[in-house]
């Protein structure tokens, strides 16, 4: 007898009342009378607001004019007057940086992107080293692009170190992606010395690193950029420089301060606590002011500290103090059992801290840390108080131009959009990072 043929039953659509967009809408937006009223009210507010903004910014806006007067004659105050922003746009982004040198800023930031790209390449394993090199070496390269000017011997070596780092990062990214080996191992393989003893291999690695450094020096030495003094820096560029340095400094410094505050050594703990409490209890604006006016008094007469440097130092210290408390919160969330397990496994203080405690603490603190970065980014607007022309201050300057006198709303609108884009990007990145780090580590 032939076996019976199994006929799979056809799929049925799910019952109508349990799913589907219409059901969702009915359930969540029009469930009952109060719910429906709230939905309609919310929709009314949203529509009114959006149409008002669109009318002002696009439909009624003036796109071509020579001065604000012309705009006012055309549409009055009902539409935006964009020409003023167009004229000032380059200043909003680059400050008073000489126009023919602006490419240096663009290249500088592009280099950072190029430096970081390998961090997102899946087969690259040396991500920590690449990240560290971006923090430790990129600044030298970037500061020469931004500042230019005479470079002495030391300065040349540092810039060369920056270039060296960039080349190393990409060499690593390429060999790890293509062959799965680190640059050094790949190079030794190519030289046919894989069988050599460890000392020889080490010598080859050192030699290659040194040769690359010499090449970098030779490349860097002839480069000559005109000096652009920091007085001419401004706009988004200045905002990014200040907040970028503040952000990169605040994380490691905050970690050290937080560890110090929890230290068993009373002197270290007291010093860290005093520092943190001091800087946290004073508004940033006060710190900026103090550093700007009082720092020169403490320094030996004749030493000139650049105003931008003063602002950056103030921002860094302030940010580090805040970051320290966030990190400390994360450290406290790690159960003592983790320390005990690490200690009983024979790990020392730094091993326990870097391998066991910090990775867990930083992971739970990502939202707070990124929140702090975003706060810092926006707080840099305060540097206008000591006369630096950051993005915000530059926007204000538009309305003081005789042609565009009183044009404040439009530049602030644009600046708001710029801030939003940057902050929202950071926020998205933090959410993405959280998802990535928690994948597979929890019982789902």
Partner 1 sequence: MTARMIEVRGLNKWYDQFHVLKDIDLTVRDGEKYVICGPSGSGKSTLIRCINQLEHHQEGDIVVDGIAVEKKGRNQRAIRSRVGMVFQSFNLFPHMTVLDNCTLTPLLGLGMPKAEAEEIAMTHLTRVGIAEQALKFPLQLSGGQQQRVAIARALTMRPKIMLFDEPTSALDPEMIKEVLNVMVELAEGGMTMICVTHEMGFARQVADRVVFMDGGEIVESAPPDAFFDSPTYDRSAAFLSHIL
| Nearer to partner 1 (CB atom), residue 179 or residue 343 | 343
Q: Which two tokens stand for residue 359?
A: 């990775």
Our separate counts of H helices and E strands in the chain read 19, 0
Give least dist CB 442 to partner 1, A: 6
Burial class (CB in 10 A: 0-12, 13-18, 19+), 245: middle
Contact 324, 276 (CB under 8 A): yes
| Nearer to partner 1 (CB atom), residue 50 or residue 345 | 345
Give least dist CB 200 to partner 1, A: 18
**CA nearest neighbour of 407 among 82, 60, 90, 73:** 82
| Nearer to partner 1 (CB atom), residue 200 or residue 355 | 355
Give least dist CB 346 to partner 1, A: 4
Give least dist CB 337 to partner 1, A: 4
| Nearer to partner 1 (CB atom), residue 99 or residue 443 | 443
In the block, which residue shows the tokens 């230019």? 148
The rounded distance, in Å, linking the Cα atoms of 243 and 390 is 11
Give least dist CB 404 to partner 1, A: 55
Dihedrals phi, psi of 2, to nearest 5 degrees: -70, 145
Q: Which two tokens stand for residue 313?
A: 């130092």
What does the binding site for partner 1 look like in residue numbers (CB under 8 A)?
335, 337-338, 340-348, 351, 355-356, 359-360, 363, 440-443
CA triple 143-147-152, angle to 5 deg: 85
CB atoms within 10 A of CB 272: 21
Give least dist CB 443 to partner 1, A: 5
| Nearer to partner 1 (CB atom), residue 42 or residue 335 | 335
Contact 208, 130 (CB under 8 A): no
| Nearer to partner 1 (CB atom), residue 12 or residue 441 | 441
DSSP secondary structure, 257-308, as one string:
HHHHHT-S-HHHHHHHHHHHHHHHSS-HHHHHHHHHHHHHHHSPTTPPPPHH
Give least dist CB 256 to partner 1, A: 21
Give least dist CB 193 to partner 1, A: 19
Contact 381, 391 (CB under 8 A): yes
CB atoms within 10 A of CB 312: 23
| Nearer to partner 1 (CB atom), residue 349 or residue 408 | 349
Report how far Cα 163 is from the mean position of its chain's Cα atoms.
Answer: 21
Give least dist CB 440 to partner 1, A: 6
| Nearer to partner 1 (CB atom), residue 45 or residue 341 | 341
| Nearer to partner 1 (CB atom), residue 11 or residue 198 | 198
């Amino acid at each position: 007898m032939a076996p019976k043929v199994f006929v799979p039953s056809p799929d049925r659509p799910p019952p109508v009342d349990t799913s589907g967009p219409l059901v969702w809408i009915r359930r969540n937006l029009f469930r009952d009378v109060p719910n429906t009223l709230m939905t309609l009210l919310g929709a009314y507010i949203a529509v009114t607001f959006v149409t008002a903004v669109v009318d002002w910014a696009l439909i009624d806006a003036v796109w071509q004019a020579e001065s604000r007067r012309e705009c006012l004659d055309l549409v009055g105050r009902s539409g935006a007057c964009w020409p003023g922003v167009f004229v000032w746009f380059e200043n909003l982004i680059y400050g008073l940086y000489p126009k023919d040198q602006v490419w240096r800023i663009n290249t500088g930031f592009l280099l950072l992107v190029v430096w970081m790209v390998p961090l997102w390449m899946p087969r690259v394993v040396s991500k920590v080293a690449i990240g560290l090199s971006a923090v430790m070496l990129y600044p030298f390269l970037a500061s020469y692009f931004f500042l230019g000017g005479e470079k002495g011997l030391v300065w040349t070596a540092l810039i060369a170190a920056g270039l060296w780092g960039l080349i190393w990062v990409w060499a690593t990214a390429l060999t790890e992606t293509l062959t799965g080996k680190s640059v050094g191992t790949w190079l030794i393989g190519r030289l046919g010395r894989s069988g050599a003893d460890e000392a020889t291999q080490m010598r080859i690695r050192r030699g290659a690193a040194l040769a690359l450094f010499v090449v970098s020096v030779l490349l860097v030495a002839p480069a000559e950029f005109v000096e652009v003094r920091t007085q001419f820096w401004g706009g988004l560029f200045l905002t990014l420089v200040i907040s970028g340095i503040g952000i990169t400094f605040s994380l490691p410094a905050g970690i050290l301060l937080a560890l110090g505050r929890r230290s068993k050594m009373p002197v270290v703990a007291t010093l860290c606590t005093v520092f943190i409490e001091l800087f946290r209890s004073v508004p940033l604006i006060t710190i900026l002011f103090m550093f700007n006016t009082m720092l020169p008094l403490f320094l030996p007469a004749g030493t000139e500290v650049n105003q931008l440097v003063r602002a950056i130092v103030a921002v860094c210290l302030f940010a580090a103090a805040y970051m320290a408390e966030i990190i400390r919160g994360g450290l406290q969330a790690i159960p003592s059992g983790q320390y005990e397990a690490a200690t009983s496994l024979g790990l020392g203080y730094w091993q326990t801290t870097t391998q066991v405690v910090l990775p867990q603490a930083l992971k739970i603190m990502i939202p707070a840390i990124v929140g702090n970065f975003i706060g810092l980014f926006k707080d840099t607007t305060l540097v206008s108080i000591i006369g630096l022309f950051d993005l915000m201050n530059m926007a204000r300057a538009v309305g003081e131009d005789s042609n565009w006198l009183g044009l404040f709303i439009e530049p602030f609108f644009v600046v708001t959009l710029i801030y939003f884009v940057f902050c929202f990007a950071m926020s998205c990145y933090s959410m993405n990072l959280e998802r990535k780090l928690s994948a597979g580590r929890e019982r789902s």
